[in-house]
Amino acid sequence: MIELKTPAEIENMHVAGRFVAEVLSDVGRLADVGVNLMDMEHHVRGMIERRGAESCYWDYAPSFGKGPFRNVICLSVNDAVLHGLPHDYALRDGDVLTADLALRVDGWAADSARTVVVGTPAEEDLRIIRATEEALEAAIEAARPENRLGDISAAIWAVARDHGYPVNTEFGGHAIGRTMHEDLHIPNKGRPGRGPKLQPGLTLALEPWFARTTDRIVYDPDGWTIRSADGSRTAHSEHTVAVTTGSPLVLTRREPQNPATKGDSGDHLSTTDA
Ligand code: MG
Ligand code: MG
């Protein structure tokens, strides 16, 4: 069942979304050479506690994970792209870090992810990060009531193809509301004009992610961290978006940061944020 939200419910989700954006901005500022992933995890725990928010990851136990997740943020480095389990690792110059965060504030969830380069960026790493950001903006632009779900998937896939990145279809976007994952899967590859019609009140987490040279994935022994099967580097960009009668409303948009220092260029591109 696809649940539509009222404007008041979307505004509740926007409150959660603004907080997710604030935390991810902080994580981006923190990401530096020598910083330990566990310090980032604890920083985020502190922010969540002070805000009285709830992590959607803590105790999350889907079929593929090995036991419940006992962290509040996913931190994935280099060839790791999804569900990276924070662990004792100090970031190195040139590392690519993906931070993915889903929180609930007053019972409403928002979910967002970003990839940044730590220290000196390699051009090819910036290229794949920008491609996922571009794909995300294209997906947002397609989240309109005259379109179908397949139009979003097709928009992401078109950007991936332009840049020459293969697309994995096992993990993609999803509907979101009171819980992080509501019952609608949004593959990052698909055909225009297919699937359910998009309706005002739909709230979706759109999340293109690519690996440079493969669409296959492997799991770490921790049962969570998902890596590109060939070890190639990865990037992931995600926003929570509401379909409205007008322009799509991005609920997790971050304030612009200096892209030159963080290799994150997406957030000043917005024309759809209200
Ligand atoms: Mg996420
Ligand atoms: Mg998500």
Residues 6 or more apart in contact with residue 264 via CB below 8 angstroms: 28, 114, 115, 116, 129, 133, 257
Q: How far is the CA of 174 from the centre of ligand 1 (A)?
A: 9
Please give the model's pTM, rounded to 2 decimal places: 0.92
Position 55 pLDDT exceeds 70: yes
Q: Is residue 109 part of a domain?
A: yes
Per the prediction, the chain carries an average pLDDT of 92
> What is the residue range of 34's domain?
7-250
Q: Is residue 238 part of a domain?
A: yes
Q: How far is the CA of 261 from the centre of ligand 1 (A)?
A: 23
Position 267 pLDDT exceeds 50: no
Cβ neighbours, 10 Å, residue 89: 14
Q: Is residue 147 part of a domain?
A: yes
Of the pLDDT bands very low, low, confident and very high (cuts 50, 70, 90), residue 228 is very high
Please report, for the domain that includes residue 48, its CATH number.
3.90.230.10
Q: How far is the CA of 148 from the centre of ligand 1 (A)?
A: 22
Q: Is residue 273 part of a domain?
A: no
CA distance 46 to 209: 28
For 216-255, b/e burial (b = at least 16 CB within 10 A) is ebeeeeeebbbbbeeebbbbbbbbbbbbbeeebbbbbbbe
First to last CA, the chain: 28
Structure tokens at 28: 């981006």
**Closest-approaching ligand to the CA atom of 173:** 2
Closest residue by Cα to residue 190 from 221, 159, 225: 159
Q: Is residue 199 part of a domain?
A: yes
Q: How far is the CA of 258 from the centre of ligand 2 (A)?
A: 25
Which range (41-45, 69-73, 165-169, 246-250) has the least confidence?
69-73
The pLDDT of residue 2 is: 79
Position 269 pLDDT exceeds 50: no
Q: Is residue 270 part of a domain?
A: no
Q: How far is the CA of 148 from the centre of ligand 2 (A)?
A: 19
Structure tokens at 22: 């604030």
**Closest-approaching ligand to the CA atom of 81:** 1
Q: How far is the CA of 93 from the centre of ligand 1 (A)?
A: 25
Residues 6 or more apart in contact with residue 196 via CB below 8 angstroms: 2, 148, 149, 184
Between the CA of residue 147 and those of 152, 207, 248, what are the distances in Å? 8, 18, 12
Question: What 3-state DSSP class applies to 82?
Answer: strand
Average pLDDT over residues 254-271: 53
Q: How far is the CA of 260 from the centre of ligand 2 (A)?
A: 26
Domain count within the chain: 1
Residue type (1 letter), 116:
V
Q: How far is the CA of 168 from the centre of ligand 2 (A)?
A: 15
The pLDDT of residue 70 is: 85
Q: Is residue 266 part of a domain?
A: no
**Closest-approaching ligand to the CA atom of 241:** 2
Indicate the Cα dihedral angle 58, 48, 52, 107, nearest 10°. Answer: -50
Q: How far is the CA of 114 from the centre of ligand 1 (A)?
A: 9
pLDDT tens-digit profile of 88-146?
999 999 999 999 999 999 999 999 999 999 999 999 999 999 999 999 999 999 999 99
Q: Is residue 255 part of a domain?
A: no
Position 266 pLDDT exceeds 80: no
Q: How far is the CA of 204 from the centre of ligand 1 (A)?
A: 11
CA distance 181 to 173: 9
